[in-house]
Chain A
Amino acid sequence: MDNTVIDAHNISKIYNQGTFPVYAVNNVHLHLERGEFTALVGPSGSGKTTLLNLIGGLDKPNQGSIIINGQDITKLSANELIDFRLHNIGFVFQSFNLVPVLTARENVEFIMQLQNKKKDEMQTRVMQLFKQIGLEDKMNNRPSQLSGGQQQRVAVARALASKPQFVLADEPTANLDSLSASNLLDIMAKLNAEENMTFIFSTHDQRVIERARRVITLVDGKITNDSAPTKTTMEIQSATLVK
């Protein structure tokens, strides 16, 4: 059985600044298997977010192919991409993830409403996810009544509600205190283990990197290191981040 979730070949994203082309992502190859828990690290401007946007179908590369679930998403139209994202990719953004007028429960149901899921199926899934993120008692709270960490946990639940191929998280802990960040990581790790869900997240946070099972380092749009976070690689990451 093919466990490949993402297979990106030779992808580049080039921005023109005046007459000079700037490579935000430069000839990157990336292969992700089901169940991976991968951190994308690198200094600011290294291309982490651009790479996430490309594999999330939010942006198109200037060259290369991105195969997800057997489909080259670089060939899809804007409308086809919306539908593809709905059914295949879960997103957790840095902040402002939730619709403020909806309750936590409605925010999670929202994605399943878009997928036209049946009511009882939605209810079962919502209950299961809120149990997994430990917020059963906050289901009917609005986002403004939740802490930043709780909001991110609801965002993770929403990302998983559609049963996607993988979840992309762009610096999910960036605005959280250390306890909330640790709780969020626990939940992501738990969901990764329980649902065999593939997670790929960009981060600057050393504690997040420590929890990843695979760490990909980007510098100037190129992958400079791709390995499990051993003590040596951790030192490389730290050096890269400091630089």
Chain B
Amino acid sequence: MWLAKMAWKNIWRNRNRTAITMSAIFFAVILSILTSSLKDGVFNNLVKNVVGFYTGYVQIHKQGYWDEQVLDNCMEASPKSINQILGHSNVASIASRLESFGLISSGDLTKGVMVVGIEPEKENLITSLKNRLVSGGYLLNEDRSVLLAKGLADQLRLKVNDTIVLIGQGYHGSTAAGKYRVKGIVQFGSPDLNDKILYMPLTTAQDFFSAYNMITSYTILLHNINDLSSTASEIRASLGREYEVMTWADLLPNIKQHIASDSNSMKFIQGILYMLVCFGILSTLLMMMIERKYEMGMLVAIGMKKLQLIFLLVMESLLTVLAGCFLGIMASIPLVYYLNKNPLKMGGETARAYERFGFEAIFPASTDPGNFFNQGLIVIAFGLAMSLYPIYKVIRMNPLTAMKQ
């Protein structure tokens, strides 16, 4: 205890130097937390946008469906499975889909189309499909009508209340054919979806494909996306090998790769920040060792064990780093929360490009407490690592040589 007290007094023997070191740590912690929070915020927002378009955070299929996405690999919509999935505490909602391909025809125009049978209200909870309506109305469960993506409608010169003809291959090689009214037109930012998607109520799709009570996927909405992996694993374990449970990262590997590559760039920037902190701490320690060389020699000469001296010096470093970190974390909390509530907005062409794709053109900051905690811990670890220098010097110190000034 008395050594800790002495360490605290030693920190303040050169107030300016300590203030400079603490400031370096303070600003590094703020920048590091901000970088980390913005990085997570931007990536979470990206995932939210992409996942919210179509895939959802978790999808469940019959085992093997994702590798061979054909109607014959569909599964029965089983209330037992649905109850099992809904039984998980992190599952907020579940929506069933039946997806396949067909040909859409209007007048003398025909195009390939992705037909998606949905449970309208449940689907809306996951993908906010209703918000994408640009004309007409939203689907009801019992409707025998469809929603068309705007790009597709434009190409086929279709409007609300026009009629389309759909043909395709149904379940087990049957022929699928039907005539449907266009109830609404939805617009997507992604040209890929905008040019090829058609929604109809699930029962209508099952009827069209002759796949009664069959679905191709369950799409799941989670309460807490931070527990994504563990939730997927637990659902996987409860459903057994008959099903494949995939997270958005499995479904969209290119997005995951993009995040990983951007994340590495961010780590590089954070690495530079950490290096600055290290140099700040090390230069202080160097000055301190030179300034107090005689005193340290004298302390060992009169009987202070080197271990006690090392403890004293490490304690001084630790207290300085802890104080800088604590102040940095305290200052960054309101800043991060402000940037979460009032995200930085992109401007110019980038913003327009984002908006065209239906993304929000913002940089929100993540308020995940892990960011504050982890960045603080990393800086403390670097601070302690820098203390190895005085430890090394003390171990090698000869009190007589140290006292020869």
| B299 contacts across to A, CB distance below 8 A | 99
One of B138-146, B245-253, B303-311 contacting the partner: B303-311
With the chains together, A58 CA to B6 CA distance in Å? 25
Q: Is the CB of A99 within 8 A of B300?
A: no
Q: Is A14 part of the binding interface, using a Cβ–Cβ cutoff of 8 Å?
A: no
| B300 contacts across to A, CB distance below 8 A | 82
Q: Is the CB of B308 within 8 A of A114?
A: yes
**Contacting B6 at CB < 8 Å: which of A53, A101, A158?**
A101
One of A33-41, A89-97, A186-194, A233-241 contacting the partner: A89-97
Q: Is the CB of B2 within 8 A of A101?
A: no
- Within the complex, the shortest CB–CB distance from B294 to chain A, in Å, comes to 6
Q: Is the CB of A82 within 8 A of B304?
A: yes
**Contacting A96 at CB < 8 Å: which of B6, B295, B303?**
B295
- Within the complex, the shortest CB–CB distance from B4 to chain A, in Å, comes to 12
- Within the complex, the shortest CB–CB distance from A108 to chain B, in Å, comes to 12
User: What mask results when residues 54 to 86 of chain A are scored 1 for a CB within 8 Å of chain B, else 0?
Assistant: 001011000000000000000000010011011
Given A101-B6, A101-B10; A87-B303 close (CB under 8 Å): yes
Q: Is the CB of B6 within 8 A of A91?
A: no
| B399 contacts across to A, CB distance below 8 A | 58
With the chains together, A59 CA to B400 CA distance in Å? 7
Q: Is the CB of A82 within 8 A of B303?
A: yes
Chain A residue nearest to B305 in the complex (CB): A82
Given A58-B399, A93-B403, A101-B9; A162-B303 close (CB under 8 Å): yes
| A87 contacts across to B, CB distance below 8 A | 303
Q: Is B290 part of the binding interface, using a Cβ–Cβ cutoff of 8 Å?
A: no
Q: Is B298 part of the binding interface, using a Cβ–Cβ cutoff of 8 Å?
A: yes
User: What mask results when residues 144 to 178 of chain A are scored 1 for a CB within 8 Å of chain B, else 0?
Assistant: 00000000000000110010000000000000000
Q: Is A102 part of the binding interface, using a Cβ–Cβ cutoff of 8 Å?
A: yes
Q: Is B335 part of the binding interface, using a Cβ–Cβ cutoff of 8 Å?
A: no
Q: Is the CB of B298 within 8 A of A97?
A: yes
Given A96-B294, A97-B298, A99-B295; A85-B303 close (CB under 8 Å): yes
Chain B residue nearest to A96 in the complex (CB): B294
With the chains together, A91 CA to B6 CA distance in Å? 21
With the chains together, A99 CA to B300 CA distance in Å? 12
Q: Is B330 part of the binding interface, using a Cβ–Cβ cutoff of 8 Å?
A: no
With the chains together, A95 CA to B303 CA distance in Å? 18
- Within the complex, the shortest CB–CB distance from B1 to chain A, in Å, comes to 10
Chain A residue nearest to B299 in the complex (CB): A99
- Within the complex, the shortest CB–CB distance from A92 to chain B, in Å, comes to 10
- Within the complex, the shortest CB–CB distance from B401 to chain A, in Å, comes to 10
- Within the complex, the shortest CB–CB distance from B43 to chain A, in Å, comes to 48
B contact residues, total (Cβ < 8 Å): 21
| B298 contacts across to A, CB distance below 8 A | 93, 96-97
Q: Is A134 part of the binding interface, using a Cβ–Cβ cutoff of 8 Å?
A: no
- Within the complex, the shortest CB–CB distance from A78 to chain B, in Å, comes to 8
Q: Is A223 part of the binding interface, using a Cβ–Cβ cutoff of 8 Å?
A: no
Q: Is the CB of B306 within 8 A of A100?
A: no
Q: Is A209 part of the binding interface, using a Cβ–Cβ cutoff of 8 Å?
A: no
Q: Is the CB of B302 within 8 A of A91?
A: yes
| A93 contacts across to B, CB distance below 8 A | 298, 301, 403
With the chains together, A158 CA to B299 CA distance in Å? 12
With the chains together, A58 CA to B308 CA distance in Å? 18
Q: Is B13 part of the binding interface, using a Cβ–Cβ cutoff of 8 Å?
A: yes
Given A53-B400, A93-B403, A100-B13; A85-B6 close (CB under 8 Å): no
With the chains together, A58 CA to B400 CA distance in Å? 6
With the chains together, A59 CA to B9 CA distance in Å? 31
**Contacting B305 at CB < 8 Å: which of A56, A79, A91?**
A79
Interface hits, B390-405 → A, CB 8 Å: 399-400, 403
Chain A residue nearest to B399 in the complex (CB): A58
With the chains together, A86 CA to B304 CA distance in Å? 7
Q: Is A113 part of the binding interface, using a Cβ–Cβ cutoff of 8 Å?
A: yes
Q: Is the CB of B305 within 8 A of A101?
A: no
| A32 contacts across to B, CB distance below 8 A | none
Chain A residue nearest to B304 in the complex (CB): A114
With the chains together, A162 CA to B304 CA distance in Å? 12
What are the 6 A-B residue pairs with the smallest beta carbon separation, nearest first?
A86-B303, A101-B9, A85-B303, A101-B13, A58-B400, A113-B2
Given A59-B400, A79-B305, A159-B302, 8 further pairs, Cβ under 8 A: A58-B301, A79-B306, A85-B301, A86-B302, A86-B304, A100-B295, A101-B10, A162-B303
A-B contact pairs, 13 of them (CB 8 A): A56-B301, A58-B399, A59-B400, A79-B306, A83-B305, A85-B302, A85-B303, A87-B303, A91-B301, A93-B298, A93-B403, A100-B295, A101-B10
Listed in ascending order, the chain A residues whose CB lies under 8 Å from chain B are: 53, 56, 58-59, 79, 82-83, 85-87, 91, 93, 96-97, 99-102, 111, 113-115, 158-159, 162
